[in-house]
Structure 1
C-alpha cells in the first residue's frame, strides 16, 4: 500500500471514529432500532436462513437487537471471533449468549469455536465498516479480517456492511486487497452498490 493511501485511510478513520464517539445515546438507540428494521427486511427479501453478523461495540451502529431477533426467529447466526493469524473463527449465536472481550477489545461470543470455513455455508454476510462508498468499496478499521474472509470464499454470498447514514461517502481510499461489498445498511436505508458476488 502506498504511503498516500495509508495516510488517507488513517485520517478518514480518525475522523469517523471521533464522530462516532460524540454521538448521543439517544441517537445511538434510534440507529440501532433502524438497523434492526433494515436488516430484518433484508433477511426477508433474500430469504436468508443462515447469516453471519458482528456484535457491535458501543460506538458502532447497533446489531445486537437484530442478532437476538434473528436467533428468536430460528435463523442460524454465526458470530466472528478474531484469531492471531488474521483469520476469523465463528460461533453460533444462542439466546442469552455470553459475550467477552476478544482481541482488540471487540465483543465476542463465548461458545464452541467453528473454524474459518464455517462461514462458507451462510446466505448473507453482515460486516462492520468505517465507511462505504457509492461503488461498494469498504473502508474497514485496518486489521483486514473481513477483507481476508470475503477474498477467501469460494462462493461468496451477498455482503452488506453496516454504517451510519453519514458514512456512505462518494469515495473512500482503497488498495488492491480491499474488497467491495454488495450493499450497505444504514439506520434509514439499504442500498445495493455493486453487482452480486460469484
Structure 2
C-alpha cells in the first residue's frame, strides 16, 4: 500500500516536471543549457575530473554537447550511457561527437563500430539527468532505474552531479530505499550543494 502511494506520487510529479521541461522553447533550452555548461565548468568536481560520465541528451533535456567537446579537446576521458538490458546500462567511451548514433529509446550513444566499454570505477564524476530533483538531492528519474542501479552498483565513488533546468526543482520528492541521492544540482540559475 505504501509503495503504491509513493509510486503514484512519483508518477504525478514526473508528469508535471516533464511537462515543464518540454514547455521550454528550443531557443530557451539552448540558452539555459549554455548557462548550465558554464556553471559545470566552474565546479571543481567537474573541472578537475579526468574521467567523467555524461549523457547525450534527448531534445528536451539539458544539452551538454559543447561541454563534452571541450572536455575531449582538453584530453579528458568521457563516457556515455549504453543501454544493454532492462534497467541496465554500461559506459562507453566517446572520442568524438561524430561517433554518436541513435540508440535505445532514441537516445544518442556511441555507434557500434566505435564502442569501447569504460570501467565505471574510473569515473571522477557522473552528470545525471532526470525528471525532477529536490534541493536535498532526491532525484526522480524516468522510472526504469538505470541511473540508480548504475550509480549504486558500478560507480559509487563518483561525485553525483544532477543537471537540470530550474523548473525541474521540486519542494519534495518521495524517496525509496533504492533511490540514489545527488551531491550537487546544477541549473541555469544556481549550483546547489545537497545536504
Same fold (TM over 0.5): yes
CA distance in structure 2 between the aligned counterparts of 1:142 and 1:157, rounded to whole angstroms: 22
TM-score by length of 1: 0.89
Alignment of structure 1 residues 114-193 onto 2, 5 Å: 114=117, 118-153=119-154, 155-193=156-194
Equivalent residues, number: 192
Residues 135 and 192 in structure 2, CA contact (< 8 A), matched pair in contact too: no
CA distance in structure 1 between the aligned counterparts of 2:138 and 2:93, rounded to whole angstroms: 28
CA distance in structure 2 between the aligned counterparts of 1:49 and 1:94, rounded to whole angstroms: 14
Q: Secondary structure at the match of 1:97?
A: helix
Summarize deviations over 1:93-152 as a string: whole Å, max 9, x none: 21233222222222212122416xx11101111111111112111111111111001111
Q: Secondary structure at the match of 1:152?
A: helix
CA RMSD of aligned residues (A): 1.8
Q: Which runs of 5+ in 2 are unaligned?
A: none
**Aligned equivalent of 1:73:** 74
CA distance in structure 2 between the aligned counterparts of 1:113 and 1:178, rounded to whole angstroms: 28
Q: Secondary structure at the match of 1:79?
A: strand
Summarize deviations over 1:2-22 as a string: whole Å, max 9, x none: 111111111111112222222
